[in-house]
Amino acid sequence: MKVLVLSHMYPSSANEVAGIFVHKQVKELMKKGVEIRVVSPKPMTPFPINYLNPKWRNYSKIPRGCVWEEVETYYPRYVAIPRAMFFATSGYRMYYGIRRTVDKLYQEFAFDLIHAHVALPDGYAGALLARDFGKPLVITIHGQDFQKTVHRDDKCKAAIRSALQNAFRVMVVSKKLRRLAVKHFNIHNKLVVIPNGVAPEDIGRVGGIPERSNNENIILSVSNLVSSKGIDLNIDAIKQLKDKYPQLQYWVVGSGPEENKLRGLTARYGLENRVKFLGRQPHGDALKYMAACDLFSLPSWSEGFGVAYLEAMALGKPVIGCQGEGPADFVKHGKTGLLVKPHDLDSLVEALDFLLSHPKKARTMGERARKLVLVHYTWEKNAEKTMQVYHEVLNEG
């Protein structure tokens, strides 16, 4: 079986952790005998715009192709316009930018199926490729399509609908996204829930754990620093709990547009000695910080799944997430972690206080979490279910 994976979210020399969940799935599918080539389109901007923004400048340095950890990967360029402008047409622009690369690739890798990650732009572009090559398309929805893009405007919603209509299967990573698929697009029979996973081998080889004092209480978040992740709520909670827990520390792994605002909030509260911003870290180093912490807290109110929660759980840590979000599928309240009300500081403070004041119960939750994840939420389980979808689609096609 030969599969073309289309995903703008994928590791590259500019960002080694971007879309790492897609890469982990690809590697597990390859272990099971699926032949895969990855096409990961990257935005192209004209000079001098590409030098005005560090993010765009880094994009321009990505090679057109490489073998990324044994996966043959291509990074064709397409014309990108800021999301606020004409995002509904991004799928067509992506298709136009990658078509020549895919044509050339098909000559030596006649793929049987296209697997696109996200509906817009990748799924829309994938639908056009599927039409051109006469191949079936499957799409995985990770969250943004149904949580954010669908609300941009009617044209974006129509573009997502078009992509989904042209897919043989729509795989969603959580029950929350299944509910949103039905709500926004009335999709039923082609929907499949396949949760993301962890790689036990990554968990097993975590070493070089950062040093910490035995009497410290360390709360950790690993996340893009955007407003919906609730990092500011964690900082607010630290302010309320700092006197009760003199050794309380909050570590933040990640970067993003809210970083300066969060640093400012930390300074305004006088918490510079309590809150550490550790920046974006390689995946292996992020796992080391997870291994060193006492609990993982990410009160995100727009979470399609949340691989970081799973990884912390696999390392034996109790986690805090929000009710009704993706992590609610696997964070069993009071057993493997705690679920709090979205946007609710009092609920978050209560949860943190409980775990900090009941360390034995917290450790028991963490151990239950570890067992749950390593049995039911691995990339091997994910690959088995994904391969089943591939076989069903090819038989139908």
User: What residues make up the domain containing 43?
Assistant: 2-197+378-396
Higher pLDDT, residue 164 or 43: 164
What pLDDT was estimated at residue 43? Answer: 87
Q: Are residues 177 and 282 in the same domain?
A: no
- Are residues 50 and 90 part of one domain? yes
- Indicate the pLDDT class of residue 50, thresholds 50, 70 and 90: low
How much is the average pLDDT of 354-377?
Answer: 98
CATH number at residue 268: 3.40.50.2000
**pLDDT of 259 higher than 80:** yes
Report the relative pairing of strands 77-79 and 191-193 from DSSP bridges. Answer: unpaired
Pair 173, 76 in one domain: yes
Mean pLDDT check: name the lowest of 127-141, 173-187, 206-220: 206-220
Cβ(120)–Cβ(94) under 8 Å?
no
Burial of 175-206, coded b for 16+ CB within 10 Å and e otherwise, reads ebbbebbeebbebeebbbebbbbbbeebbeeb
Same domain, 242 and 359: yes
At residue 56 the predicted structure's pLDDT band, cuts being 50, 70 and 90, is low
Does one domain contain both 356 and 207? yes
Kindly tell me if the per-residue pLDDT of 47 is higher than 70. Answer: no
Strands 137-141 and 337-340: unpaired
85 pLDDT tier (thresholds 50, 70, 90): confident
When pLDDT is averaged across residues 257-284 and rounded to a whole number, the result is: 98
Percentage of the residues of the chain whose pLDDT score is greater than 90 = 88
- Provide the pLDDT confidence category of residue 213 given band limits of 50, 70 and 90: confident
Residue 51 has pLDDT above 70, yes or no: no
Q: With helix as H, strand as E and coil as C, how does the chain read?
A: CEEEEECCCCCCCCCCCCCHHHHHHHHHHHHCCCEEEEECCEEECCCCHHHHCHHHHHHHCCCCEEEECCEEEECCEEECCCCCCCHHHHHHHHHHHHHHHHHHHHHHCCCCEEEEECHHHHHHHHHHHHHHHCCCEEEEECCHHHHCHHHCCHHHHHHHHHHHHCCCEEEECCHHHHHHHHHHHCCCCCEEECCCCECHHHHHCCCCCCCCCCCCEEEEEECCCCHHHCHHHHHHHHHHHCCCCCCEEEEEECCCCCHHHHHHHHHHCCCCCCEEEEECCCHHHHHHHHHHCCEEECCCCCCCCCHHHHHHHHCCCCEEEECCCHHHHCCCECCCEEEECCCCHHHHHHHHHHHHHCHHHHHHHHHHHHHHHHHHCEHHHHHHHHHHHHHHHHHHC
Ramachandran bin of 33, using left for φ above 0, alpha for ψ from -120 to 50, beta for the remaining angles:
left
Q: Could you tell me if 262 and 298 are in contact, meaning their C-beta atoms sit under 8 angstroms apart?
A: no
pLDDT tens for residues 20-41? 999 999 999 999 999 999 999 9
Task: Return the minimum-mean-pLDDT range out of 36-50, 158-172, 298-312.
Answer: 36-50
Average pLDDT over residues 28-55: 84
Provide mean pLDDT across the span 306-313.
Answer: 98
Q: 354 and 382 share a domain?
A: no
Claim to verify: residue 185 and residue 244 sit in the same structural domain: no
Cβ–Cβ < 8 Å for 280, 304: no
Q: Output the pLDDT for position 171.
A: 99
Q: How far is the CA of 155 from the CAs of 30, 85, 149, 151, 183, in angstroms?
A: 37, 12, 10, 10, 17
* 14 pLDDT higher than 90: no
pLDDT recorded at residue 269? 99
Q: How far apart are CA 25 and CA 111, in angstroms?
A: 18
Same structural domain, 272 and 387: no
Q: Both 346 and 389 in a single domain?
A: no
Residues 278 and 343 in one domain: yes
Q: Across residues 351-375, what is the average pLDDT?
A: 98
Q: How many domains does the chain have?
A: 2
Using CA atoms, how far residue 94 sits from 122, 126, 152, 157, 262, in Å, is 7, 9, 19, 17, 34
Residue 166, pLDDT > 90, answer yes
240 and 142 share one domain: no
pLDDT for position 214: 79
Residue 217's pLDDT is 97
Alpha-carbon gap, residue 74 to 336, rounded angstroms: 40
Tens-digit pLDDT profile for residues 216-252: 999 999 999 999 999 999 999 999 999 999 999 999 9
The rounded mean pLDDT for the chain is: 95
Q: Give the span between the Cα atoms of 45 and 286, in whole angstroms.
A: 31
Edge-to-edge strand list for the sheet holding 295-297:
275-279, 248-253, 217-222, 295-297, 319-322, 337-340
Comparison of pLDDT for 83 and 236, the residue scoring more:
236
Same domain for 13 and 60, yes or no, is yes
pLDDT band at 60 (very low <50, low <70, confident <90, very high): confident
pLDDT bin (cut points 50, 70, 90) of residue 59 is confident
User: In which band, very low, low, confident or very high, does the pLDDT at 84 lie, cut at 50, 70 and 90?
Assistant: low
